[in-house]
Structure 1
Amino acid sequence: MVLYAVKRIDNASGTAVAVIVVEARDPEAFSEDMLKNELQFSSEDFGKMVDTLRDHIPEPSEVEGLQL
């Protein structure tokens, strides 16, 4: 069994800018509430980071053949 958690990341104006997906291969290592709390706590910082770096983040089609 695997535990997944997903959090939409919004920028300061409330626009969705990213999605964070967490996969825990050991579902006993984390509780659902702990993951929700940690993702909620971190989401504002992630939103600011993505907004700040927006001009430097390539579109998936731009890096498709680069094998990154």
Structure 2
Amino acid sequence: MKEASHSILAEPITVGLTRKCLACNKRFALEHLRTAEHPTLGHLKTYQCKHCGVTFNFATRLPDGAL
């Protein structure tokens, strides 16, 4: 299973209303797999694209020291 990576932005990346896959650009493709608590990032939600299989982690907070 592949995992996508992203650069750090001013705000954490969110899933969005269309659940568009950031790897294959298909709309309504992301399925929620699990939610976990992370000490630094808050709620960490994991989604997987049902078309290409790439997994994405979406956090509610940026890591400490992020620009």
TM-score (norm 2): 0.25
Higher strand share: 2
Higher helix share: 1
TM-score (norm 1): 0.25
Larger radius of gyration: 1
